[in-house]
Structure formats: structure tokens, C-alpha cells
Structure 1
């Protein structure tokens, strides 16, 4: 159990930080738009990556840095694109989000699933940090536990599932705050700023190490 809780603690420390993925899950949760799908995609992706890291995929990632570089630049493009959309909503307003917060309706039926699904996948799998954190770092630490490494990984997996479920479904508690006109503009402005910072953090290491 100590090994399990060690993995749980590491999993939370890696995932709680505010980033592009968490900002997206939070926004979908407040809008009540395909929350179950987004939570499932993010949590399942973490499970796959944690298991892959524990199984030894981390060494493969280290030996092939080109994989991380491709994800870095592709992820930066996706994050910037989503940030631009958030900035546009901040300037024009988000009527759908405001209505969802005001009346508590669940607008899933009127929203297309594909864009939400693709965005969740892109913000997860095109983030190079996810490979370094879940595959390389977590995999390396799990390996140090020897035969108990799968218990350590189980703790990390539980942390990920609890976090995304809590973030996605707990976000609706913010609905009363966001039911006021102008509130969504603030949210989208913050999301746009987060996306810009994330995009810069993705490409800056590559630019500073270029010959």
C-alpha cells in the first residue's frame, strides 16, 4: 500500500499543474459539453502511457528523441490554434457557454462530438511533456520499485482518473459564477493566456538549443 500511495502522490504532482489539457477539461466541464467523453479520453490516455512507461517504453522514447520533437512542434500548433479560438471568444463573447451556466442545461445533443474528441486527443498526445512525465519519469521511478512497480503504477493511474473526473464534473460548481455576462470572456481570456504560455514553453527549449 505504501508503494501504491507513492504512485498516487507522484501521479497527482504530475497532473495537477495547470496546462492546456486541464484548461480544456475545465472549460468543457463548465459548459457541460461532452464531459464524459473528454474525461474518458484524458484518463484512458494517461492509463495507456503509464502502463507503457512501466513496461519499458521510456527507454525507447529516450533513444528516439525525434518522436518528442515531432510532438513538440505539432502540439505547439494545436495549442496556439485553440488559444486563438479562446481569444476570439473572449473578444466576441461565448453565448453558448453563458446559456449553459445560466439554465443548467446539458447542451451535448446540440454539439458535434468530433471537434471535441479531436481536440482532447491532440492536447493529450501532441504534448511532449506527457511522454517525459508519464512514460520516462514515471516509468523510471516505477522500475526502481522492482516487483512492486505495478502497484506504484496503479497508484498513478488512480490519481489520473480521480483528477480528471473531479475536474470535469466538479467544474459545473463554477456555473453560478459564470452565469453573469462577461464572465465567460474572462475565462476564455485566461484560457487563451494559458495556451500561449504552454505553446511558448513547448518550443522555447528547441529554439534555445538550436545551433
Structure 2
């Protein structure tokens, strides 16, 4: 069996381009990384959840849309309405700026369980999770030739693992730089 580098690259690029947007999940990961708390748990959990949704999306989206054509219409309109609302919210925030301040000096450590529960909430209660991983990546992956779908999934999962481990551990390495930069000491 020959490795399909095109499928790997397509999956990797599609996944990384969707996952890099800083939403609530990535903001939480950054904060935890800066606090240097439960790094492996966070990176592994996010990678695992994302991987499961990618595989389910690529292998199951076609079955769902073929068996339930009304579901396809519901997902299209629901996704369009969500993106419209999110776009309007983003437009509104341009005129009402706010600053996300992560005070790390007095940050109390959180337990592994509370961190895990918060992370699972940010992951599975977030519509972006389903739109990006299940619907968009699932649809792109399902459109690949059958022999390319496995490589697409491997590439998409590799992007997810790369992103979450890089974001989590990268943030933990930037604490000193951010403290110095915030104080104006270059």
C-alpha cells in the first residue's frame, strides 16, 4: 500500500487552518499553559476529543446526509445562522473592545478534575467544535476518494495533536517573555 502524501497534506492543512482560531477552548488552553497546570492532560484530552470527532465526521457524515436529507438542510441553515450571529457579535466587539487579562500572579491552582471538566465543557458545549471538526472536516474528508480518506484523517489528526501540544507547552514556555514584555522591559 502506497502512502498518499496528498491526502495527508490535505487533512493536515484543512485541520490546522480551522483549529488555529482562538476561541474559548484555545483561550482556556493558553491560560492553563501560562499557569503551567496540567499540561499533558490538557493537550492529550483536546487531541483525543478532536481526533474522535474528525474520524466520526469523515466516516459518518456521508451516512447521515444520505439517510437523513432533512438533517443536511438543518445543518446548513443552522451553521449559516450560527456563523451570521457569530460574525455580528465579532463586528459588535470591534466597537466595544475588551481586554482578556490573565492574572497569573495570584492564580490559584486548579484540580485535575475541575480542569478536565472545564476543558470538556469548552470542547463539547462549543458549536465550533462540531462545525469545524465534524461538519467541515467530515465533509472535506468524505469528498476524498475512498482510498484517500484514511490518509486525510491521519493528516487531520496529526494537525490536531501538533496544535494542541504546541499551544499548551508553547504557552508554558512563554510565561517569562510575556511578563517581561508586559512590564515594558525588553
TM-score, normalised via structure 2 length: 0.71
Alpha-carbon deviations, 1:101-132, whole Å to 9, x = none? xxxxxx9xx64112111110011111112111
Q: 5 Å matches for 1:71-150?
A: 90=101, 93-97=103-107, 111-147=110-146, 148-150=148-150
- Corresponding residue number in structure 1 for 2:24: 20
Which residue of the partner structure matches residue 40 of structure 1? 44
Q: Which is richer in helix? A: 1
Displacement of 1:94: 4.1
Cα deviation digits, residues 119-176 of structure 1 (max 9, x gap):
1001111111211111111111111112211111110000000000000001122211
Contact 2:123 2:129 in 1 (8 A): yes
Unaligned runs of 5+ in 2: 83-97
Aligned to 1:30: 34
How far apart in 1 are the matches of 2:153 and 2:12? Answer: 8
Tell me the residue number matched to 1:164: 164
CA distance in 2, matches of 1:141, 1:123: 24
Q: Which has the higher contact order (CA 8 A, sep 6+)?
A: 2
**Structure-1 residue corresponding to 2:7:** 3
Shift in Å at residue 9 of structure 1? 0.3
Q: Which runs of 4+ in 1 moved over 2 A?
A: 57-62, 93-97, 177-180
TM-score (norm 1): 0.63
1:40 and 1:96, CA in 2 relative to 1: closer, same or farther beyond 3 A? farther
1:95 offset after TM fit, Å? 2.7
